[in-house]
């Protein structure tokens, strides 16, 4: 199951975004998004760690025994985290002061372990490296989105340095900053609303795909249409529930050709289950 490079980037950044879709790595997402610059610093650190730990885990995937693989991954990851931590301490002391312990805590970030387990342990070094970069960019973009909302509403400025100086004022003097967005409750609130927006977009896209499949079935005369057709007006009813339409069997064997119709979308994943990581 080889994936091309554009597919890897598309999955890492959009369709499988680690924060907005997979809901992983909530601790740094909430804690380091008080300003866009902090978010960029955190994102850059995660990109480096994710890319290199993916690369090395992929190179060692045939040597590491299955029983101790998680422990081995953690050692590899923490090696890179320590390297990144020392580099940031040496060259970017302001970012180090702002992010505090969240740089060493990248070790226990679920995103990195999840990519190691789900991708790097099954794929070659180059795809794993690219997957690390793509997922890291997806994480960074999500962080920057959240941080932009919080910084803009919380201070009225954007792109302030990590020590709080040199921001670009966006609003005029009339804007009185809502400090709550810089506080922990503002972090939860912003993330909640942004994930709701993402779910809305995904729901709309899924609904559209389902309606398309239903119309095609109706043209085929398949029995999916009977589920959807209004008995009085004969029009196709818009289906709005979460679940994908199930074929009605009525004791007979279902029509195999219809079930294999590629136009029928797979059942959308249950959103609630993903927070359990």
Partner 1 sequence: MSNIFMIMFAAILTENFIFSRFYGCCPFLGVSDKPSTALGMGMAVTFVMTLSSAATWAVYNYLLVPFGLEYLKTIAFILLIATLVQFIEMFLRKFIPALYGALGIYLPLITTNCAVLGAALVNIEEGYSFIESVVFGFSAALGFTLAIVVFAGVRERLNFADPPKAFRGFPILLISASLAAMAFSGFSGMKF
In this complex, which beta carbon is closest to partner 1, that of residue 57 or of residue 191? 191
Nearest CA-CA partner of 277 in 32, 18, 23, 17: 23
Helical ranges in the chain per DSSP H: 5-10, 26-31, 36-59, 69-91, 93-99, 110-115, 125-155, 184-220, 224-228, 256-259
Smallest separation (angstroms) from partner 1 to the CB of 24 = 8
In angstroms, the CA 249 to CA 256 distance is: 11
**Pairing status of strand 168-169 against strand 157-158:** antiparallel
Q: Least distance in Å: CB of 219 to partner 1? A: 28
116 binds partner 1 (CB under 8 A): no
- In the bound state with partner 1, the residue whose beta carbon lies nearer, of 5 and 97, is 97
Separation of CA 97 from chain center: 27
Radius of gyration of the chain (CA): 23
Among 5, 7, 14, 71, binds partner 1 (CB under 8 A): 71
Q: Note whether 193 binds partner 1 by CB under 8 A.
A: yes
State how far the Cα of 203 lies from the Cα of 205, in Å rounded to an integer. 5
| Span interacting with partner 1, options 5-13, 40-48, 101-109, 131-139, rule CB under 8 A | 101-109
**Quick one: 22 or 127, whose CB is closer to partner 1?**
22
Instruction: State the number of binding residues for partner 1 (CB under 8 A).
Output: 48
Residues lying near partner 1 in the complex (CB under 8 A)? 23-27, 30-31, 70-71, 74-75, 78-79, 81-82, 85-86, 101, 104-105, 107-110, 113, 180, 183-189, 191-193, 195-197, 199-200, 203, 271-272, 274-277
């Amino acid at each position: 199951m080889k994936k091309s490079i554009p597919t890897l980037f598309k999955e890492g950044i959009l369709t499988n975004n680690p924060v907005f879709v997979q809901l992983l790595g909530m601790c740094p997402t909430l804690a380091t998004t008080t300003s866009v610059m902090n978010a960029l610093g955190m994102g850059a650190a995660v990109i480096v760690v994710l890319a290199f730990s993916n690369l090395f885990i992929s190179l060692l995937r045939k040597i590491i025994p299955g029983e101790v693989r998680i422990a081995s991954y953690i050692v590899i990851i923490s090696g890179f985290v320590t390297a990144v931590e020392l580099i940031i301490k040496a060259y970017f002391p302001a970012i180090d002061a702002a992010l505090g312990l969240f740089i060493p805590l990248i070790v226990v970030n679920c995103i990195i372990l999840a990519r190691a387990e789900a991708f790097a342990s099954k794929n070659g070094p180059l795809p794993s490296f690219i997957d690390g970069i793509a997922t890291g960019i997806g994480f960074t973009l999500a962080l920057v989105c959240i941080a932009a909302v919080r910084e803009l509403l919380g201070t009225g400025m954007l792109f302030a340095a990590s020590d709080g100086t040199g921001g670009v004022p966006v609003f005029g003097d009339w804007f009185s900053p809502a400090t709550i967005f810089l506080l922990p409750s503002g972090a939860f609130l912003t993330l909640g609303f942004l994930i709701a927006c993402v779910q809305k977009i995904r729901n709309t896209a899924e609904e559209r795909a389902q309606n398309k499949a239903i119309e095609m079935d109706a043209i085929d005369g398949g029995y999916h249409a009977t589920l959807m057709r209004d008995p009085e007006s004969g029009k196709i009813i818009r289906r709005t529930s979460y679940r994908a339409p199930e074929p009605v069997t009525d004791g007979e064997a279902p029509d195999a050709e219809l079930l294999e119709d590629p136009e029928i979308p797979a059942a959308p994943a249950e959103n609630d289950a993903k927070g359990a990581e």
